[in-house]
Amino acid sequence: MKQLYPSREAYKEGKLQVSDLHTIHFEESGNPQGKLIVVLHGGPGGGCPPFYRQYFHPEKWRLIMFDQRGCGKSKPHAELRENTTWDLVNDIEKLREHLNIDKWVVFGGSWGSTLALAYSQTHPERCKGLILRGIFMLRKKELTWFYQEGANSIFPDAWEEYLKPIPQSERGDMLTAYYQRLTSPDLKIRLETSRAWSIWEASTSKLFLDKQLMQTFGESQFAEAFARIECHYFVNKGFLETEDQLLKNVDKIRNIPSVIIQGRYDIVCPMISAWELHQAWREAELIIVPDGGHSMSEPGIMSALIDATDRFTEL
């Protein structure tokens, strides 16, 4: 089993104005002369915590991490305007150009895998490799499973808490009901629903309940950006042209060295999505973690990710 690398501080932090409204926060860590890799965090709205650095060999990688629009240290906080998948794809390119980078490896999990697919299919010439985890392609069946019906059969106790802010009469469309409250002018309503939405995801992300993760996801600052931005993307179907766009456009990335890492017992992003992506994209290596859920910090998934980042230094 691979272990996390020792914690190290970033050697550079900066801000990049990507529109009149949005400024994103980015950082660089590892070896300034190392191989280049960019991390696309989950959510959307999750931000990049410092422990992500520990998945990358500090002497071999020059690691770029950034907080996507509206979350983490990026400003304005929890902002939904000018916040779409394609705005983020453009931001990745602006950051690459700002840092004078020609090509890089792209690392993304959960929503980060969605964004990595969208980015690489738009700019395949800029991608040396793809390391993807917990595949999520923003299709209706994926959203219905986790936010309407499906996952509740496995976590009925956590589901009960997720239902609480929504009246019985509105539970036939949970995404819309949540969106109305997450965009309410009433801060109390926004925070109540933000916490319920975020804690639902934290409750289901690991094979064994992690109360510390639930507490972190329930913190007001994190929860509002996470829940508002996620729901904004999901009610807008990810701003994709068709729901199977990312699956249909695999030909554009077929020859990029890629690995897909998937926990067999992932409830948030069930394995069927990784399986269907691999069926369309046999050139990508598929690694199924037999004792893994959704979280990148579970031992088997963590080990598989570190093994992949170690191997990709040889590209």
Q: What are the residue numbers of the active site?
A: 110, 266, 294
Question: What is the DSSP pairing of strand 104-109 with strand 61-66?
Answer: unpaired
Residues 6+ apart with CB under 8 A from 225: 45, 47, 70, 71, 72, 77, 78
Helices (H), 135-243: 140-147, 156-163, 174-182, 187-204, 211-218, 220-235
Q: Residue 3 CB: number of other CB atoms within 10 A?
A: 10
Helix (H, G, I), strand (E, B) or coil at 105: strand
End-to-end CA distance of the chain: 22
Residues 6+ apart with CB under 8 A from 180: none
Q: How do the residues of the chain divide into helix, strand and coil, expressed in percent and rounded to 5?
A: 45, 15, 40
